Every structure is written in structure tokens, then in C-alpha cells.
Structure 1
Amino acid sequence: MSEAAPETPLPPHHWEADVLLLDGGTAHIRPIRPDDAAGLEQFYARVSDRSKYYRFFAPRPKLSTREIAIFTRVDHTNRIAFVMELAGRIIAVGRFDVVAPGEAEVAFLVEDRHQGRGIAQILLEHLAQAGRERGVRRFTADVLPDNKRMIATFEAAGYQVMGGVEDGVMTLGFDIDPTTTAIGVMQDREHRSESAAIAQFLAARSVAVIGASRRQGSIGQALVRNLVTGDFTGRVYAVNPAGESVSGLAAYATVGEIPDEVDLAIVAVPADAVQDVVLDCAAKGVKGLVVISSGFAETGDEGRQRQRKLVGLARSYGLRLIGPNCLGVINTDPDVSINASLSPHMPARGRAGFFCQSGALGSAILDKVNARGLGLSTFVSAGNRADVSGNDLLQYWEEDDSTEVVLLYMESMGNPRKFSRIARRVSRKKPIVAVRSGRTTQGVPMGHQVRTAMTPPGAVDAMFRQAGVIQVDTLEEMFDVAQVLAHQPLPGGRRVAIVGNSDAIGLLARDASASSGLVVAKQFDLGARATAADFEAALREAIASDDIDAVVAVWLPPLNTSAAEPATALAAAAATSTKPIVSTFLGEKGVPPQLRVRDASGGAAGRGSVPSYPAVESAVRALAKVVEYAVWLRLPQHEAAEVLVDPVGGREVVEQVLTLAPRGRVLEYAEARDLLAAYGMELWPSLPADTVEDAIAAASDLGWDVVLKATADRFRQRPDLVHSWRHIRDAGEMRQAWALLRGRVEHPDEAAFVVQPTAPQGVPVSITAEEDPLFGPVISFGIAGPVSELLGDRSWRIPPLSIHDARAMTREIKGSPMLFGYRGSDIVDVDAVEDLLLRVARLKNDLPQVHNISLPLVLASPTGASVLSASIRVQPVTDARADWFARRLNPLPGDTLH
């Protein structure tokens, strides 16, 4: 009886992903399987002879059965291969074979018609990440010298490629550690790909409305009407089964019958018919889908499964998708002028790009925009956010010259770590204003499926601040802030002048300024009898002053007087001002017609228009938010701080532990000491003592002047409990300390006594870092002790950290005065504390196998920071981080996040 063939081991789940190509199309990447034999053979038959020759260095018209078996049966450890699929067909293969410890030979083959779409680069990224997880540190590749495309692939990856030519073959070699250059190259490609994908929606030249209808009041009819009346510059096609004309347009029974190319499909058919529409659109070559239809994840389990199938099907055929259950998309650019939404009104042309997840709120939001005279460049309602998300829009708006301000109404975050990374970069160019619903409860709408974050709300707020995002609580406040950003210059500082003809409102403005962190440098109380000329003179004096950074203007005209003259005065002063002006003018909201400066297009109010607020407190709060953003902009660039570390040594410690304990465990003292040492941190010696003789021996080994303390969990971070004795200098003092401490603590045999060298007296602080399911690594800092824990007095950040991030963490907690000489105490070495923060953040960012790290007791003294204790748990990585070193789209609804 023949032996059964050995089972092929299963690869990690996170090695499978949807990916985005350079042109904005999608594909699917996954480990190769034995049942890919037929698909691989068909793929190889479609590849040109030239590409085959470049791959194998010899004519090879077809693969033998033996070769196919070798290529499709891998062990996912020493032999790893990925295939890329589109529409169920293999379009590329990439693989590596380990040839020496830590070294593997890599090769690719891409179907000719798909070359130039960035496929080889994506395969290289995913193979390199899989290699790192399997202990591979270096790739080599044999390439023919005239295979310029493949050589360029390796060189463009950002790795340092070395090689030479022997026997007519060029051998290239490069380390695959994710260097700053390699990560930058990957993120640049990601940016271009995601921006290109969104451009397919917002710059479409032809649109098909699938589900168009002649029925009055129907969604399909509204979509056609809004496209036509919105003066869309491209072509509109109506698609309905009956083939009847809709709103004067000839209709087609299916999208496939349309004789011309179709860039974008707007889908408004029953939910159970949407999948058939996807197949029709894929066959037609449509590039993007906007699914208005409801009946998906927002309806329950059945809808969630339907949504999952919809997104998977769209991506498998190379399509991006907005929605489902969304309002649609709008671009006010006169060269496009597309209103592919259910909103009957096209917003005026403006400077703000708006991303909204809620379809139900979308129309109300657009009404508010119009009422305030704000104007938009583009608008996207993502509905259930099953595919396209706010991160995609940020990538597009970053380079969009028409968008100067980004507005986000967020009901959930699918990949906050990626959002943080992108927002940090975009905020340097353009302000981002965000409303985040569920901010306290962390709840999400039923249609939005994301993994639950373990991170507290304070950490999420800190992430927004770290990224320079202006976070507000309400939509009204978002528009208040947006009006300043869209129409006024940024302030140079916190000093404001209040100019007005109402003493009472002037006092309210002063109070609001003080509570918002602004400094009132001067107040012009003009009185109720002030004229427009008085108003203008005071405004110009305030603007001209070097001691003033912004102006709050208040004008409430007396009875039976015209508003024209003061409006002219305010507009004239604002027209020449390089400082922002906000106003409470006639109690109006938005930009009153009298204070508007028209754009060249004649649309919404342009730069120099003066925003007005019914309540002066709203004006001041909006200005204060803009001031905080301007201050953030003046901070040094948020590049990761450079600290001298040994990541290879740290990785070796972790890998050795996981070899002995595959499921992971808490590190023993020596292991924790070595891991911290690799990252430049010294863990204070700590010797266990079960008996007084053990304690004496330990103290002798340490050279005396030691501490005896209990370290059981109930004593940690409890300065109110007497559980330690300092400065023990000989055996007699140790016996005395042993007897006294054992008498003072309950259950002394369970107290876990240790002996340590006496550390300098200082302020106890704690540093923790952990892996969050959504955010990846999160680091926190606070004064050690139960009071800080109970009050939640901790600062939070998302690695990587800049030096400014570390400095902010030590200063923004309420207990920070204890570090800076509170009530005459010594000022501690805060630089040493911040250095520890940077090193812990670097360790956690480098090593996802470190599930959590806690330094619960660090004594910060005037001479340094002593790490007295550490608890570190390592465990295998089962899911890749949401923002790994290989590009991937957000997972399908219901999938594990990766």
C-alpha cells in the first residue's frame, strides 16, 4: 500500500490580501496551492516567449507536469510562493527558496498584458514580509542584464542592491530589512495607487446609472436628473431592463449594450441584484462602482454576508467600490461638474473636500454647506464604507489642487494606524477637520464592521492631536472651523484683539478667549455710538499691530441704521489683512453676502471673506482651534526620532523565547534584561529572596547599599503600602529589615521579596506599550500610583514617535509639575524619561511579537531614570498589523483585520 502524500502545511491567514495596483485597479494576492496546477499552466501559456526566457534563461514553451507540481507544492517556510489573481485567473507568480540560513533566492513572472501596473513591486513587498516572518534577512536574484524591467523593480524597491555579472547572468543581492528608504518608496506607491483609484470616481468622463427609471420620485430617476441638471461634462447612460428612455436619455437593457466605454457605474437596483450588476460592469471594463442600494450590512447578518460577497466580487474583478447604502459622489470642478448623488442641489464651488460616511446625514450636510456659503471641491458619501474609506480620500486630496481644507465626518475607523500615518503627512500641507461620532462610547453604526479597539478614548484623541487633525465635537463646530480655514489666513500666534461696539459681547469674547487658550492682547470697546469709520479705524489698528495675531470683530448696529457701511468697513479691512478675522456681524451665520469675496468662478465665498457667527463664543472657539493647528504646524517635522538600538539583537531574544514557548509567555528577568538592553535600556538588577539568608547573599553579590522590597502584584505601584526598606548596608541591617517587613505585610510568604541596588530618590513614573487590534502599537506614560490610574492621568501616542511627541507626553499629564520641581522638589532628568519613551516606542514598533511591555516603576531623578521593574509578554503574530510593510487593502467585512 503506497504512503499518502504528506499534507501541505497551511500558511498564515494574513498572507492573503486584496491589493491595489498603480493604476487604481485591484487584484488578489495569496499563497500558492496544489490545486493551482491548472491555473498555473493556463497562466504560463498566456505569457510571452520573451518573458519566459527572462524567467528561466532558456526557451521553455510549456511547463512539465513535474515542474508544475514542484512550483505549486511549497512548505510555506523554506519555499514560499504567492500568486496574484484577477477575475479568478492567475496573472503573476512570485516565489523565494531559502538557499542558506537567512538568505533566499527570489523570482517573478508577470503576464505581459499586466506588466507596468506595479505587480512585481507588490509581490516583492509581500514576499519580503513573509521572509522576515520566517527568518529570512536577504534576497538574491539571478537576472539577465537586458531584463531592464526586473532590475528596475529591485532598484526601485528602496533596498540597497549589490551585484555582479558572471557567465552572462547578473546576480543581485539586497537585505530586506524595512529601511526608511524602502518604507518611503512603498508608501509613495500606495499614495499614487489610492489617489488614482479615487480619481476614477471623481474625474469620470462617462457614467452609467444602473437602475435608471422613468418613475417619478424614484432613486434611479433622481440620479439621472441630478447628473444632467448638474451640467456633467461627460456622457450619461441610463440602464434599465425595459430599455425605455429616462429623462430624455436613450436607455440600454444592460451596461454591456452601451456602445462606448464606461468609467463609472452608479448602482440603484435591489440588493439581491447588485452582484449580477458587478459581473456586467466587470465585463464592460467599468473602473468604479458607487452602490446607492441599501439592504446590506446595515440590515443584519444576512445583509453582512451579502455585503462581504459584494466587495469580494468587485475586488476580484479589479473594481473599487463606494458604498453600499451611500448618498453618492460630487465634484464641483467646472471641467467635470459631476453630481452622481441623491442630492438635488449641486454645492457651490469651494475649497473644502468633504468625506461623510452617513448617507442619511449626507443631504443635511450639503444643505448646511450651502446655507453657510462654504462651498466644496468634492464630496463623497461612503455609506457602509465597505471598500473605499477616508484614508483613500486623504490620499487623493493631498495632491488635489482644488482642495485646501479636508472635512471628515467619521462614524468608524477601519484602519486608524494607517489614518494616523497619512494624516500626519497631509496635515502638513492642508488642515484636516474631523467629527468622530461614538467618541465616548466607541460605538459604530450597524453597517460598519470593524474590530473593537482596546485603546481608551483618550488614546484616540491623542492620536488625532499627534497627527495634527483638528478634532471637533459637532458638525456645527466643524463648519465653524472650516469657515476660518477656507476664507482666512492662518494666525501667527495666540494673541487676539477684540474690536466691537458692544461692551457686553466684548466681555463674552474675552471670557471665551481665556477659556480657549487665547490671549487678549487688546480690546477696542467702541461703544454703541461708534460709526463705521470708527470700526474700520480700530480694525486697521489691530491688524497693523505687531502684538496681535488675530482679530475678533463684533458689530451689532443700533436701531434704524444701515448695515451697509459697517459691512463695507469690515470687508475693506479684511481685504488687506494678513491676519485672520472672525466676526459676530448682525448675528448672522456663515459668510453674509456683504462680507463675501467671490472666487474667480463666482461660486462660494473665496479667500478674504469674513465668516460670521451668531454667538461670539462660537467665533472664538473656531479661531482657537485654528490657532492650535497653526501652532502644531510650526513644530519640527514629526519624523521618528533616531535612537541607537540593536533591533537584530532584540529580535533574537524574542525568537529564542518563541522557539521554546511557541504560544508565547511572559519573559523571565534575564530575558527582559537582554531585550531592553538591545534597545539601550538598563533594567535594574533584581535578585529574589525567599529567606533572609538569600537576601543577605543577594545583597553581598550586589555590593550592599541595597533595597529589600515586596514585589507581589498587590504591592506594585502602591506607595501607600509599606513594603520596601532602602539603604541596607550590612547583614545586621538586612536581618532587621527582613523581620520588620515580614511583620508589616500580610501573607509574607507570598510577598515575593527581591533585593536591588538602591536607586536614586526620584519621582515614580510608569511606561506601557501594547498591541491594539486596530491601532497596532500604543504607548502611554504617567506618574506611577493608584491616584493617576483612578483619574486616568496618562498621555498616549501611536509609534513611531518624534522627539516632540515624547516631550509632549511628559508635559500634558496633570501630574507633570511633579517632574519640574513642584513645591520646591528637585527637577528630574526629563530628557532621560523622554529617551526611555522613545526607546520603548521603537522596541514596540519594531517587534510586533512583543504583545505588551510594562515598566511599572521607573524612578526619575535629577541624575537619570532608573528602570526598577519590567513585565514583557511575547507571543506569535497571528495577524499582520493593519499598517504593515506590505501594501494591502482593508479586509473584507467580517475578515480578521490585516
Structure 2
Amino acid sequence: MESYPEYWEADVVLRDGATAHLRPIVPSDAEAIQEMHSKQSPESIYLRFFAPLPAIPKRDLDRFVHVDYHDRVAFVMTIGDEIIGIARYDRLDERSAEVAFNIADAHQGRGLGSIFLEHLAAAARERGISVFTAEVLPQNRSMLQVFAAAGYEVSREFDDGVVAVRFDIDPTEKSIQVQEAREHRAEALSVRQALSPRSVVVIGASRKKNSTGNLLLRNLTTAGFNGRIHVVHPEAEAVVGIPAVKALDEIGRPVDLAIIAVPAEAVSDVVRDCAAHGVKAVVVISSGFAETGEHGLELQRTMVATARSHGMRVVGPNSFGLANTAEDVSLNASLAPFLPDPGALGLFSQSGALGTALLAAAKTRGLGISTFVSAGNRADLSGNDVLQYWEEDPATSVVGLYFESIGNPRKFSRIARRVSRVKPVIVIKSDFTGRELPPGHTVRLSSLSGKALDQVLTQAGVIRADTIHQLFDIAQVFTSQPLPGGRRVGVIGNSAALSTLVVQRARAAGLRVDAPPVSLHPEVSAEEFGAALTEVYEDPTVDSVVVIFTPSAGAEEAEVARIVATEAARSGRTTVACFLGVHGVKDALTAHTIDEDGNRTAHAVPSFMGPEDAVWALSHATEYAMWRKSDRGTYPEFDAIDERGARAIIERNLSGVEAGRRVSLSREDANALLECYGVSGVPYLASHSVEEAKAAAEELGYPVALKAVSTRLRHRLELGGVRLNIDDPEELEEDWNGIRRVIEAVLGPDDDHGIDVQPMAPPGTSCVIRAGEDPLLGPMVSFSLAGDTSELLDDVAHRVAPLTDVDARQMVRGLRSSPRLFGYKGLPVMNVAPIEDILLRLSTLVDDFPAIREVEIRPVMVTETDAHVLSIKVELVAASDRMDSFRRRLFIG
């Protein structure tokens, strides 16, 4: 019998945005299951058991709750202490299992069946099961719909009054899309409930004007919140002019959002009270949680578990609050005494202090916001959740996020890739590895360099900003200007020196400046400037325009600004400006147009402090626009992949291994594993004596290579662990003895790992491919040219799996050293298609099996005709738990 699989537990978001807890069944659930059964209607009982059953017989109940977590698996879903649903599978044979579901009448229609199916299928695949069957009564339409809508290819047969259902549970493109769509709708709704409440209660509002709760209440009223505001205070009759009640009981009507500002030790009790009164979400402003140490972390986890188990989402703790500027909401449930005007920018911040800076910067630059969320310690509601909401929020057209840590980067990458197709996503994040975290943030550590996640974000179309200044530089282009149509830039200004600087910076940033800049004299008149600007806009080879104007004795700055705004609006071309003294999106650079229906539209040209900032923002806007237009490729479909064979190798090597322990495969198993996915290595034969080596060379055929097997010397040509191009037995004997002397000198005379004999691959360029499950980033694939230079300069391409064909091409061509593969300084042009094929196959392998910690192909020799895999190393990890997998669950902070 397997031990209790704790990592199968999950907090989940239901269809209506509420939360619940899903976990494997345990024997002590018997009483709660019987209680659930007693509340079921006769019809529900008949649909589940095919017979009337007022109570579950003890023998059957015992069997239900005693499972082995391998051949017999069951999950329960709970809200508080109540079980609201049960799902199970029972293995029929090596590959198939029968599934059954039982959802409490009061909770049907909330999406429990689809969530159960995802988690059962994930558990079953871990146990080697690939097919589910079920017997369902024809009138049980809801359960038949769960199977039909899951995205699997379902077959049905009607026999003896029962519908027999059968389907393969391996993820398909459709099933993945269905899961992501359901996850998106549920998580977006849970955020919407927090951001658009109809009623708010402040718990912990003091009558002291300088207290946190008092400030929150004043900000709520000052913003003109359109819903009901309540205050809970144990003594006061009123706070800030709002009548107070002593407890939630006295409100007498539903409350959507609770803002909590009480001491940390009391928060869990307040959250529990909120749950008992049907509150949908809480914002915890209180500090004193994980940022203070282990005790605070335990308080935080208890508080979040309490909220989630009762159906609520939590913003915080240590949150700065949230805001929604929509006219029908007008919510300022934050510590900011001011908000920017309503606008199109959605802002997310983990840091309270940075939240203040973000709002202040937006207001200073004249940028309006749609919504603002400060997640604080990000114990529950995260940037991923808010991104799900912003994806379809019509009020938000640009997203800006400040991250101190990313709990589930793979999920963020997946969501951001989808959102970026329709809205720009800008991220500020300093440390991407998880090694330098602020107090209160607990995430897994990445085994890769910080550059890896940076590349993953680029793969997803995310724009990286290093500072708040840069975030708003690019945001003000996206919120005020159309996307550039291409890379060609026109430059016009009344300073030759600044125009030259713009041209230099633009070309360095990958933009094209095909026409000479239009450099007008410093005292240019407004009419002259306008005429020249019109000519620039009329040039069909110009996609975007940079305007520079410095104060002079000529035209007035305000007059030129009006001309620039008018001409930019008329042209529809992307325009950025550098008007010294004008920073942001201002009235001075705003023009208005009126359409046929009489609707008035503002067109603002963003102005920057310096020309460098203007070009930086324009270049990133252009890169994003080009990414939006680009072909992102297709996922490959390989024939003759032996997934069952690969699974058997992995399970055999991990059998009986303690969870978390690593296992290195033998070279035979490592080669066999990759052969299951169509990657074959150059054959080799091991030797422990000169005679064995000579016999191996005769069998394989000269010329051959000799390689020390020991990991400290393998691939180390410079240390003498490798000898190449051996043409005859005499040379082989000399080189074999030479390697043996190196082994004895470095490892000692007792080392007997042996020396491999391998046919020489044709000459080419030596490369390294790695793939595997990174603890933080999930399944990753990396590519580089072999050698210390690539490692020292971190010239490595990283992508998250699965890869498209375009991803693989970009990995090979995106290295700084990649010209060596394509004819650099007379070198032959290598055939990289086989390398791309290996990248795609390894991507599929590690995406299928989270237990693969690392695959290393080092080296793979790329030639003018083919690629030759010379060495394969594979390491597994027992009970690997992928954070973003084929089952929905919330991140645990």
C-alpha cells in the first residue's frame, strides 16, 4: 500500500469563484461521508448507486474509505468540515480503471465534477493508468456532460439500461484548452468578487485618525464607493461618521468584501467569522505574518487555510489594499489617500511601499488606472489570479506588475503568453531565481541562472522593465499610442546633437533609421516645424516617429506640442516625444478627434525626460508589436513514441525510493529512455583493460575515441580524460594507458569505473542540450555550444516545455555564439534540423514526466549533414510535484 500522497492535496477555485479543499480520502472520513449521503435526494442516490439506499452499509463504507492510493484511489472535496463531493477510481487491469463521482445536491452545478476528473486523471497517470471507464444511467445527464465536456475522445455504448463510457486520459490539446478555460473563468471571477464588491466591511477601524483602519475607512468614503460601507467596532457608535456595529451578526445583510486591520494573532478568528457570515473575499492589511519568521508563517498558513476551506479568497496579508476606479464601483480599499484618474492601466504590486510609488508615478505622469491590487505576502491571491481577471477586463488594456517573487512562474508564463496576444504585459522583477527573497515570501529555488526565467518571459511576450521609471515609460506608450507597424523610425527635432543621439540609440536597440533625421535649426518657427513633421508622417517608409524639441528663441513649446499632438493623431503613426519639462501623458500633447457619430476621442503623445528614455520605450513597444505579429509555431506530433516504455524505465528505477531522493540512471537505462522518444546515441562499449578496449574497437571499427567513465573526467579533454581519433591498436594501447594514469592520479588507483570505447563521430561543432524539471520553473529545455566560454558567459538558451518548432529554431539561432553553426569566418554551415528535432523530442519527454530531474546530452556533435549524440546522462527525482500540472490548484504561499 502506498503512503498517503500529501502532495495530491489542493485548494481549488470552483466555477462560481469560491474556493474548496480537495484531498485524498482517509478512513476518518466515514462519518462525514455518511452525513453527506443522508442529505442526498432519492434521485441522486439512485443515479450514483443504481438502487435506493437510505444509508451506506458499513461494509461498503469501510471499503470506500480504505484505499491503497495506487490501484484504488479516492478524493473528497470539503468546505469547512463538510464533505461536498467524492470521486474515485478502481483499477480494472494494467491500463484501465473505473471511475465514479458523487456530488452533494447542494453543490451541484459548481464545477466539482470537472475538477475531480482532472485530479483523478493526474493521479491515475502517475500510477500507469491511461484509460477511464464508467457506467452511468442515461438520465444522469450531468455526469455524462462532465465526461463529454472534458476534451477527451469519449466512446459510449448503451447496454442493459446503462451507458458504458470509455476514454483515454492522456492530455490532448483540446483537454488542456478546456482545463485552462475553466481555470481562467473561475479565477477571474474570484478576483472580480474582490474588486467589484457591492458591500464592504472594515474590521479594525479605530477612531484614532492616524490608525490604519481609520485611514482605510476615510479612503473608502472619500473615493465615493458606490456600495454599502459597514464598520465593526466593539465600542464605538460610529467611526468617520459611519455607524458601527459590534459584530458581523448585527449587519443583517450579505457582505462581499472584508478589510481586516487587526493584530495578526486575531486575524484567523476574524476570517473564520467572515466565512460564517458568507463574506466572499478578505483584504488583510495586518502585518506580523510570514515576514516575521516561523511563527508568523504558521499564522499566515492557518489564516489562508481557514479562508480557502470556507470558500474565500485572501488578498495579503501585509497588503497595501486594492482599488477599482470604474464609475459604478469607485473603490479605494487601500492605504493610498489618492488615486490616479480612471484609465486603462492595471497595476499589481507585492510591496506596499512600491504600491505607493506605483500609484504616485501613475498620477504624476497623467496615466489613469483601471484597477490596483497589492498582494503583500501573496499568501493567496497572486499576480496569476489578477492576470486571469485582466485578460478579459474591458477597462484594462495594459498590465503592469511589480514582483518580489513568483510562486508559480510556469503558470504565469502560460497565462501571460495568452494575455500578451491581446494586451501588453510589463513586469518589474529584480531577482528571478528565488534565491533573494523579501521576508514573508517562500518559493522554490531554481537550479538555473536568472537569465532562464528572463527568457521564459520573453518566450511569453512579456516586456521586462528594471525599474518603476521604465515600467511607466513603456506603459505611457501603450496606453496612448497605436502599436508600431514595423521597425522603421523617422526622427525630427530642432537639435542636431539630440537627433544624432536618437539615431544611435535606435539602431543599437534594433530599430531601423533608413532616412536621415530631420534636423531643424534651433529657432525654427511653429509653421516650419509643422510642415516638416507632415512630410515625415507622409513618408510611407516610416512606421513610428521620435520628436525632439528644446526650448529656444523660436517657436513656443506649447504651440509645437499642439502641432505634434494634432499631426500624430491625424497620421495614426506611433509617436514619442522629448519635450524638456513635459513628462508623461499631458494635456499639452493631447489632441482630440470627433468621429461621424460625434464621439470625442483624446490622442496623447507621451513625452519623456530624455531621448534615451523615449527610444527605449519605443524599441520595447516595437519588439512587442513584432512578437504579436510573429508566427509562434506549432507543437510537434511525433509518431512511434513509446510512452509506456519510458514510464516503465522510470517507475522501475524509482521503485521503493524515498520521496525527494535523486536517482541516476545507468547508462543503459538512460539511452533506452531517450530511445523511447526517438533520440539515439552513438554506440559505445565499456572496457576495463587494454585487451577489452582493443576488442571493442575491432567490433565498432576504427577510428575510435576513449573516454573515462568517471564524472570528474568524462568530457574533460583538457584533463586527459578523453582521447580522440585513435586509428590502430598500438595508438589505442598507448592512449588507454595514458587515461588510466590520469584516473589514478586524479581519482586514485582503486577507481575502476572503466573507459568507454566509442566510434569517432564526423567532425563538427560540439553542443550541449539539457532538459528536465526545474523546481521553480517546471519542465525546461536548454541549449548551448560546448565549452567553458558558453558556461562562463551564460550563453545558454532556455525555454519552458513544451516547445513549438519556432521555439526550437530560436533557441539554436538566439545564442551569441550561434554564428559558429552558420558559416562564421569560413566555418562550414551545419545542419541544425536534427538538433531542433532533439530539442523538440526532449521537450515532449520532460513535459510528460515530471520525475525527470535532468537529461544531459553532452556532447551532441552537429555536422553538415546530421547530429550525433555521444553521451547521455539522466537523473530522476522521486515523487516530483509539478506546480503547474494537468490539475487545477492554488499556489500555497
| Corresponding position of 2:379 | 386
Q: How does 1:48-87 map to 2 (within 5 A)?
A: 48-87=41-80
* One of 629, 648, 657 as aligned partner of 2:624: 629
**Whole-angstrom CA distance in 1 between matches of 2:706 and 2:5:** 47
Equivalent position SS for 1:845: helix
**Whole-angstrom CA distance in 2 between matches of 1:241 and 1:521:** 72
Q: 1:248 to 1:664 in 2, by over 3 A?
A: closer
> Is residue 802 of structure 1 aligned with residue 804 of structure 2?
yes
Equivalent position SS for 1:780: strand
| Corresponding position of 2:668 | 670
**Whole-angstrom CA distance in 1 between matches of 2:557 and 2:863:** 63
| Corresponding position of 1:373 | 366
> Is residue 609 of structure 1 aligned with residue 604 of structure 2?
yes
> Is residue 474 of structure 1 aligned with residue 467 of structure 2?
yes
**Whole-angstrom CA distance in 2 between matches of 1:741 and 1:412:** 47
Q: 1:337 to 1:459 in 2, by over 3 A?
A: same
Q: 1:700 to 1:661 in 2, by over 3 A?
A: farther
**Whole-angstrom CA distance in 1 between matches of 2:62 and 2:863:** 65
Residue type matched to 2:815 in 1?
A: I
Instruction: After superposing the two structures, state which structure 1 stretch, 591-600 or 139-148, moved more.
Output: 591-600
| Corresponding position of 1:539 | 533
- 8 A Cα contact 1:486 1:607, kept in partner: no
Q: 1:290 to 1:306 in 2, by over 3 A?
A: same
Residue type matched to 1:226 in 2?
A: N
1:168-207 deviation per Cα after TM superposition (whole angstroms, max 9, x unaligned): 1111111111222212111111111100100101111111
Q: How does 1:759-774 map to 2 (within 5 A)?
A: 759-774=761-776
With normalisation by structure 2, the TM-score equals 0.95
Q: How does 1:247-646 map to 2 (within 5 A)?
A: 247-439=240-432, 442-522=435-515, 523-559=517-553, 562-597=556-591, 608-637=603-632, 639-644=634-639, 645-646=641-642
Instruction: After superposing the two structures, state which structure 1 stretch, 334-343 or 191-200, moved more.
Output: 334-343
- 8 A Cα contact 1:395 1:422, kept in partner: yes
Residue type matched to 2:884 in 1?
A: D
**Whole-angstrom CA distance in 1 between matches of 2:656 and 2:760:** 34
- 8 A Cα contact 2:349 2:403, kept in partner: yes
| Corresponding position of 2:890 | 889
Equivalent position SS for 1:608: strand
| Corresponding position of 1:819 | 821
| Percent of aligned pairs sharing the same letter | 46
Equivalent position SS for 1:672: helix
Equivalent position SS for 2:870: strand
Residue type matched to 2:203 in 1?
A: I
**Whole-angstrom CA distance in 1 between matches of 2:206 and 2:606:** 42
The CA RMSD over aligned residues, in Å, is: 2.2
- 8 A Cα contact 1:780 1:796, kept in partner: yes
**Whole-angstrom CA distance in 1 between matches of 2:842 and 2:608:** 46
- 8 A Cα contact 1:486 1:606, kept in partner: no
| Corresponding position of 1:780 | 782
**Whole-angstrom CA distance in 1 between matches of 2:656 and 2:66:** 28
Equivalent position SS for 1:656: helix
- 8 A Cα contact 2:715 2:721, kept in partner: no
Residue type matched to 1:303 in 2?
A: G
Q: 1:555 to 1:734 in 2, by over 3 A?
A: same
Q: 1:607 to 1:480 in 2, by over 3 A?
A: farther
Equivalent position SS for 1:396: helix
Residue type matched to 1:669 in 2?
A: R
- 8 A Cα contact 1:493 1:631, kept in partner: yes
**Whole-angstrom CA distance in 2 between matches of 1:51 and 1:740:** 78
Equivalent position SS for 2:871: strand
1:776-825 deviation per Cα after TM superposition (whole angstroms, max 9, x unaligned): 12221111112222222211111111122212211222211111112111
Instruction: After superposing the two structures, state which structure 1 stretch, 135-144 or 723-732, moved more.
Output: 723-732
Instruction: After superposing the two structures, state which structure 1 stretch, 284-293 or 9-18, moved more.
Output: 9-18
Instruction: After superposing the two structures, state which structure 1 stretch, 492-501 or 469-478, moved more.
Output: 492-501
Equivalent position SS for 1:521: coil
* One of 646, 649, 654 as aligned partner of 1:653: 649
Report deviation, 1:724: 4.8
**Whole-angstrom CA distance in 1 between matches of 2:155 and 2:499:** 69
**Whole-angstrom CA distance in 1 between matches of 2:602 and 2:125:** 51
**Whole-angstrom CA distance in 2 between matches of 1:727 and 1:254:** 85
Equivalent position SS for 1:216: coil
With normalisation by structure 1, the TM-score equals 0.94
Report deviation, 1:745: 7.7
- 8 A Cα contact 2:420 2:460, kept in partner: yes
Q: How does 1:853-868 map to 2 (within 5 A)?
A: 853-868=855-870
1:369-427 deviation per Cα after TM superposition (whole angstroms, max 9, x unaligned): 11100111111111111100000011001111111100000001111111111111111
Equivalent position SS for 1:443: coil
1:645-685 deviation per Cα after TM superposition (whole angstroms, max 9, x unaligned): 33233222222333487766322232222211111111110
- 8 A Cα contact 1:325 1:359, kept in partner: yes
Report deviation, 1:52: 0.6
1:731-782 deviation per Cα after TM superposition (whole angstroms, max 9, x unaligned): 4554465467667886497584222222111000001123222111222111
1:216-265 deviation per Cα after TM superposition (whole angstroms, max 9, x unaligned): 23222222222222122222122211251223322211122112221111
Structure 2: gaps spanning 5 or more residues? 595-599
Equivalent position SS for 2:605: coil
Q: How does 1:223-238 map to 2 (within 5 A)?
A: 223-238=216-231
Instruction: After superposing the two structures, state which structure 1 stretch, 337-346 or 726-735, moved more.
Output: 726-735
* One of 838, 845, 848 as aligned partner of 2:847: 845
**Whole-angstrom CA distance in 1 between matches of 2:796 and 2:447:** 15
| Corresponding position of 1:4 | none
Instruction: After superposing the two structures, state which structure 1 stretch, 679-688 or 717-726, moved more.
Output: 717-726
**Whole-angstrom CA distance in 2 between matches of 1:143 and 1:41:** 22
**Whole-angstrom CA distance in 2 between matches of 1:724 and 1:445:** 46
- 8 A Cα contact 2:632 2:807, kept in partner: no
Q: 1:582 to 1:440 in 2, by over 3 A?
A: farther
* One of 694, 697, 701 as aligned partner of 1:696: 694
> Is residue 175 of structure 1 aligned with residue 179 of structure 2?
no
Residue type matched to 1:576 in 2?
A: R
1:562-601 deviation per Cα after TM superposition (whole angstroms, max 9, x unaligned): 323211210111111222111111332112321125799x
Residue type matched to 1:668 in 2?
A: S
Structure 1: gaps spanning 5 or more residues? 1-7, 894-898
**Whole-angstrom CA distance in 1 between matches of 2:45 and 2:592:** 61
| Corresponding position of 2:181 | 188
| Corresponding position of 2:597 | none
Q: How does 1:31-50 map to 2 (within 5 A)?
A: 31-50=24-43
Instruction: After superposing the two structures, state which structure 1 stretch, 456-465 or 265-274, moved more.
Output: 265-274
Residue type matched to 2:267 in 1?
A: V
- 8 A Cα contact 2:657 2:878, kept in partner: no
Q: 1:829 to 1:519 in 2, by over 3 A?
A: same
**Whole-angstrom CA distance in 2 between matches of 1:405 and 1:327:** 21
Equivalent position SS for 2:513: strand
**Whole-angstrom CA distance in 2 between matches of 1:577 and 1:489:** 11
**Whole-angstrom CA distance in 1 between matches of 2:461 and 2:242:** 47
Q: 1:724 to 1:79 in 2, by over 3 A?
A: closer
| Corresponding position of 1:679 | 677
- 8 A Cα contact 2:231 2:242, kept in partner: yes
* One of 212, 215, 225 as aligned partner of 1:219: 212
